[in-house]
Structure 1
Amino acid sequence: MKLIRHGVKGSEKPAFVHTDGTVRDLSGIVDDITSELFVNGELDKLLEVDPLELPVVDLDRIGVPWVGAGKFIAIGLNYADHAAEANMPIPPEPIVFSKMLSCMSGCNDPVVLPKGSTKSDWEVELGVVIGKRARYVTEQDALSYVAGYCIVNDLSEREYQLERGGTWDKGKGCDTFGPIGPWLVTKDEITDPQNLHMWLDINGNREQVGNTKTMIFSVAHLISYLSKFMTLEPGDLITTGTPPGVGMGKKPFPRFLKPGDVITLGIERLGEQRQVVYEWDEKLIDI
């Protein structure tokens, strides 16, 4: 099932994408798509609904496909070829950092550059949404803790990330730097998260091409690994790293985002995103 939320920010309504491509309203069945639906089989009940009995929705704005994330966890340098372009060694264990919940935005919402930003960058990534509480889970069982998958654009301000001291978090949690969706695709539709094609364009030019099969640490490994350091709760989001082609790694000169750029990106079976980049304008943050 492809779950989607649409409408004005803060007042989104639940829906899902039918196999015929129409978007069907779920607001008569559930109040919203929340992390609570992922536990106790509540999500499975939606699969029993006859979609032809539900109203068709004309989409306007698409929001983050669920609410209730308590953590937005990110993994760095998880593709060997991306580590090479960044001139960094392949990590012996996953590199873990946080993106702020306040950076989460809809898949087509504006990307607003922070004040004074000169090194904002793009990263297409596979997002994994946790479906039930996970503590010290084995790698063999890890995928049973997944509710679904989504696209994440892990936007990054490289100066803040790498040149301002401290952790990577400074460059990762800026407002609008976490577009998610368009859908949350339930795990029954993605039998193998380690074989998904992914891509990203800037102004129609292909910049990133990759496949999740080249991850250094698999989705199952990451869930098991993280569950040793923190409790993963329903609704938590893990974004799993990016393939090569980011702006920081361009040769002979890096290429970073500027106002007016159009970012389009997609992952096989998970849909596509489109964002327009703007200079700092606080009014655009809460659209």
Structure 2
Amino acid sequence: VSISPEITSKKVCRDIINQLVKMYRESQLDNRIPAYDGRKSLFTAGPLPFTSKVFVVVLTDDNRGSSSDSDRKKREREFKVTIKFASKTDLYNLTQFLRRMQLDCPYETIQALDVALRATPSENYIVAGRSFFSLSLGQPGPLGGGTEYYRGFYQSIRPTQIGLTLNIDVSSRAFYEPILVTDFVSKHFKLNFSRPLSDQDRVKIKKALRGVKVKLSHSGKIRSCKVTGVSREPLRDLTFMLEDNVTRKKVIDYFYEKYNIVLKHPVLPALQAGSDSRPMFFPMEVCQI
């Protein structure tokens, strides 16, 4: 499987393949539901009616709150998905290996079975490495500092002396609490929001939040973005260039005029999303982890 433009997120790749199955399952996939590993491999229980085919998939983001044509176009992304036949997985070789009548372990067959067994939990649970986590598997426990642990399980399929074995073990992993970023900063760093942060505290916040995905709901839409940094200036001094490339606007004034939001913590820096060349700034108090 290849997806164009290229996507690095396994979750987005799975969303694309799920949408492909919804669109083309009956007409192009011979009514088969494939098992997908989130990268390059896709398996089906039986042959597909083609050896190579390109599919056009339109993925709609979960941004809600506006029904205008321009916003709808912004939320839709088009991908080209190419599915090519690579090889046929033969269970006979695995059977012979388990009977000790074949020396070479058929790892490709075991990989196919492993992907098939991981397909459903990958859709229903949070995936981290080879483990799955969910609130349905047990109540989370506090770890302090704005973090908590989720319960889950580890899963792998392995050939053993007694046959093919599904190995399942309990697992736990730390996650950020689903709270406002301002609450996280208060819990994790115990800072005073009445005065601007020092450079040392700003760097600590940047390290703690870089790469974390936050939700934005200030505009009435449900959006998400990944934190790439923290602004050097506090919100009260932070400005950005408008579309006319002439006028600079204060972030505080923009949020008040655009969304009627009076920011409560103007001395805090803003979270940065996007690249350094085209940054986007969001106040911490409108961002939720």
TM over 0.5: no
Higher relative contact order (CA 8 A, sep 6+): 1
As a proportion of its length, which structure holds more helix? 2
TM-score (norm 1): 0.21
Query: Larger C-alpha radius of gyration, 1 or 2?
Result: 2
